[in-house]
Structure 1
Amino acid sequence: MLTPELVTQVFLAALAAATTLQLWLSARQIRHIRTHRDAVPEAFADRITLAAHQRAADYSIARTRLGQIESLYEAALLLLWTLGGGLQWLIGFWQDFGLSDTATGVGVLVSATLIISLLDLPFSIWQTFVIEECFGFNRTRVSTFIADLLKQGLILLLLATPLTWLILWLMASSGSLWWLYVWGVWMGFTLLMIWAYPTFIAPLFNQFKPLADEALRQRIEALLARCGFTSRGIFVMDGSRRSGHGNAYFTGLGRNKRIVFFDTLLDSLEPDEVEAVLAHELGHFKRRHVQKRLVSMALMSLAGLALLGWLIEEPAFYQGLGVSEPSLYAGLMLFLLISPVFGVFLTPVMSWLSRKHEYEADAFAAQQAGATDLIRALVKLYRENASTLTPDPLYSAFHDSHPPAPLRVAHLRRLEAGG
């Protein structure tokens, strides 16, 4: 029998456990990095200076400390939203307008999302204009930062409002299996956004120009042909407009795929190293990692919606989380608020899967472009991006989507040696 008291107790226990776990892992990370700050790992000693290693250590520690504060802040806000009556107040605010249940629900869900984004803003500001600035990475102007926020808010309103309306309508009109229909809509929307992002959304924030280096472009096209990969073009993004970090990625879906290099990455790598980085990204394509991650996400969202389909019919679910009267939109909002707490405990599984994919992509790159070139590229990226070479093993196993630098390089060297 589900009671309000049981719901409250389970929620508080999960929140306390998740927050404590995050803080403990972060403390381990800081302690481990600080302990190894004064010596470059032997595998990197000939290519990364002690000064660069210490800069990366200090940068990682600063980011981890901010994460600790953010964990406590988010836990406090979640308590205010739920047991503190924040969501109950927001529901009452929208109900006073006398709108239909669906319109009221759209108002509650969209406004709550905007408020949460605004409440998270101080950490984004501190990360960008204090930490990134202090370590020489920030190139974002205040005007650009504000413009990005306004664009993001407008996109949220334009996309979230009709999507939320459709979801609430389905929840109200589709019977007991509404969660199955909502899942289909959500997956369709997700695939649409992946397809549309490179053409319609990303250009709102960055400029994308075709790769101008003819020799490099021909080299990349030859690699693409060997791998059987087709795309809508090879583009260079003005990443340096906002940050000194370098990266490369694939975006889009189906025939709308694009290859994107940050201009900062092209400035720091040699052509053979760029080819090796791209071969790694192609490894994700050839090993069907994108499809596997989409399937994982689809199964998790289906399970979550099925669970919500049960909880939303239980008055105790609402009462135990600070909402007096059941409603479809209140149940959905409560689920969106508390699900990340329980999702924390799935993080190490998802991180392990991601690291497994990274090793597989590295193995593919070693075959197509050479392990030595990829090692050189990775070392440069570790140095330029101030990535720590000495993460705490347990913290890394829990959080990191990529293998720690020493393990990744050791794996590539084994491949290079034919192991």
Structure 2
Amino acid sequence: MPEALSNLNPALLLTSVFALALVASVLLRLWLSSRQIRHVVQHRGSVPAAFADNISLAAHQKAADYTVAKSQVGMLELAWSTATLMAWTLLGGLDTLNQALLSWLGGGMVQQLALLTGFVLIGGLLDLPFSLYQTFVIEERFGFNKMTWRLWLGDLLKSSLLGLLIGLPLASLILWLMGSTGRFWWLWAWGSWMGFSLLMMVIFPTFIAPLFNKFQPLEDEALKTRVTALMQRCGFSAKGLFVMDGSRRSAHGNAYFTGFGAAKRVVFFDTLLNKLSPDEVDAVLAHELGHFKHRHILKRLVGVFGFSLAGFALLGWVSGQVWFFAGLGVQPSLTGANDALALLLFMLVVPVFSFFVSPLMASMSRRHEFEADAYAVAQTDGHALSSALLKLYEDNASTLTPDPVFANFYYSHPPASERLVRLGT
């Protein structure tokens, strides 16, 4: 009885803190979304003066309507995800699933893997309606969706199969480390996770991405010559220049670097090449090169490594505390392993608290974008970069009038007005 009482107060404290953090985060998210919708609607009637010569009123209003539609669906999705989070935790959903699998399979690795798999499958099914609505209603309404039902189903099957082939062995390794390597299992698990992450950076562009998209070598010799000269001027090497058939799924355009070390690739969406001039493509690529030149990718990678190490260390501590499970609506086994339960509870709860530091991460990302823009201007033509950004804002229906508070909290890229002012255009 004294032991039970000693575990009661920490459990109640965790329940209270979690509930308060969840309520606070939901209210803050709803307030921010309401501000965004209200601000965008208020400025829908006219194009901001700085963009009046380049953006039509019709394009501006389309971007406003697109932003509002996504925000409204996002608010509904927030309500749904909050309800499912409560159902999994404090209302006992995860505990019910765990007990059912224990009675069916008994304890052991198979039961723990079944718990992880069942959670992922149920969670995916619960999220499916919003994913479908976003793709086949919102994106379709605004002319962006190019996905067919057959293609969508194929993507779903391939991603599910990949999840099983990659996720189950990784989960088995983590669970084995948790149960077999002593009190510092979390250090071994962190090392395994980091090794896996680095491995995925190498194999993803070569083996996984081609399962979903076609990547053809860039055939435009004039553009290839320009791009190669730019990369040489910037001291950057890549394994190849590729064009991806992004138009099979969406009308949105993009360009990115992928891979790690010798496996780095430059990838252009075909939609991007169809919309931008060679000078503009040069400027966009120079911006991406700026991220590498300023070591933004490395800095983010180091940050991920550091935060994940802290996360695994915290998980290593709370996974051995009865109050951690009890405070989140789960009855842990007193004789068997609770490792899968600990992993799932940790993944469910941490985002509730990490949400409050997201403005810091967004601010750092915006600073990196400004630095990459400055590098692009130094290497190419600033007017070409401004022109490319305006085309991308228009073609992707990105609002030119976001709410400042919303943008400061969420935006990983600076709003158009701030970005173009920095570029001097």
TM-score range, shorter chain: over 0.9
Q: 1 CA distance for matches of 2:105 and 2:163? A: 24
1:46 paired to 2:57: no
**2:379 counterpart letter in structure 1:** Q
Q: What TM-score do you get using the length of structure 1 for normalisation?
A: 0.97
- Identity rate, percent: 55
Q: 1 CA distance for matches of 2:282 and 2:396? A: 19
Q: Check the 8 A contact 1:103/1:165 in 2, yes or no.
A: no
Aligned equivalent of 1:417: none
Q: The residue matched to 1:3 in structure 2 has which SS?
A: helix
Aligned equivalent of 2:383: 372
Aligned equivalent of 2:286: 279
Aligned equivalent of 2:329: 322
Q: Check the 8 A contact 2:279/2:381 in 1, yes or no.
A: no
Q: 1 CA distance for matches of 2:202 and 2:69? A: 36
Q: The residue matched to 1:69 in structure 2 has which SS?
A: helix
How far the C-alpha of 1:93 sits from its partner, in A, is: 2.5
Q: Check the 8 A contact 2:37/2:68 in 1, yes or no.
A: yes
Q: 1:399 aligns with which of 394, 410, 417?
A: 410
| RMSD between superposed Cα atoms in Å | 1.1
Distance 1:161 1:51, change over 3 A: same
How far the C-alpha of 1:32 sits from its partner, in A, is: 0.6
Aligned equivalent of 2:30: 23
How far the C-alpha of 1:110 sits from its partner, in A, is: 2.3
How far the C-alpha of 1:111 sits from its partner, in A, is: 2.1
Q: The residue matched to 1:209 in structure 2 has which SS?
A: strand
Q: 2 CA distance for matches of 1:397 and 1:113? A: 32
Q: 2 CA distance for matches of 1:104 and 1:272? A: 57
1:102 paired to 2:109: yes
Q: The residue matched to 1:259 in structure 2 has which SS?
A: strand
**1:372 counterpart letter in structure 2:** H
Q: 2 CA distance for matches of 1:339 and 1:109? A: 17
Aligned equivalent of 1:60: 67
1:269 paired to 2:265: no
Q: The residue matched to 2:414 in structure 1 has which SS?
A: coil
Q: 1:354 aligns with which of 355, 365, 373?
A: 365
What pairs with 1:74-153 in structure 2 (closer than 5 Å)?
Answer: 74-153=81-160
1:178 paired to 2:185: yes
How far the C-alpha of 1:176 sits from its partner, in A, is: 1.2
What pairs with 1:234-273 in structure 2 (closer than 5 Å)?
Answer: 234-273=241-280
Aligned length: 414
Q: The residue matched to 2:121 in structure 1 has which SS?
A: helix
Q: The residue matched to 2:54 in structure 1 has which SS?
A: coil
1:294 paired to 2:305: no
Q: Check the 8 A contact 1:211/1:234 in 2, yes or no.
A: yes
How far the C-alpha of 1:89 sits from its partner, in A, is: 1.5
How far the C-alpha of 1:120 sits from its partner, in A, is: 0.8
How far the C-alpha of 1:97 sits from its partner, in A, is: 3.4
Q: 2 CA distance for matches of 1:340 and 1:408? A: 30
How far the C-alpha of 1:100 sits from its partner, in A, is: 4.7
Residues 118-143 of structure 1 deviation map (CA, whole Å, 9 limit, x = unaligned): 21111110010000000000100001
Q: 1 CA distance for matches of 2:108 and 2:86? A: 25
Q: Check the 8 A contact 1:137/1:243 in 2, yes or no.
A: yes
Q: 1 CA distance for matches of 2:302 and 2:118? A: 30
1:195 paired to 2:202: yes
**1:406 counterpart letter in structure 2:** S
Q: What TM-score do you get using the length of structure 2 for normalisation?
A: 0.96
1:408 paired to 2:415: no
Question: Where does the alignment leave 5 or more consecutive residues of structure 2 unmatched?
Answer: 1-5
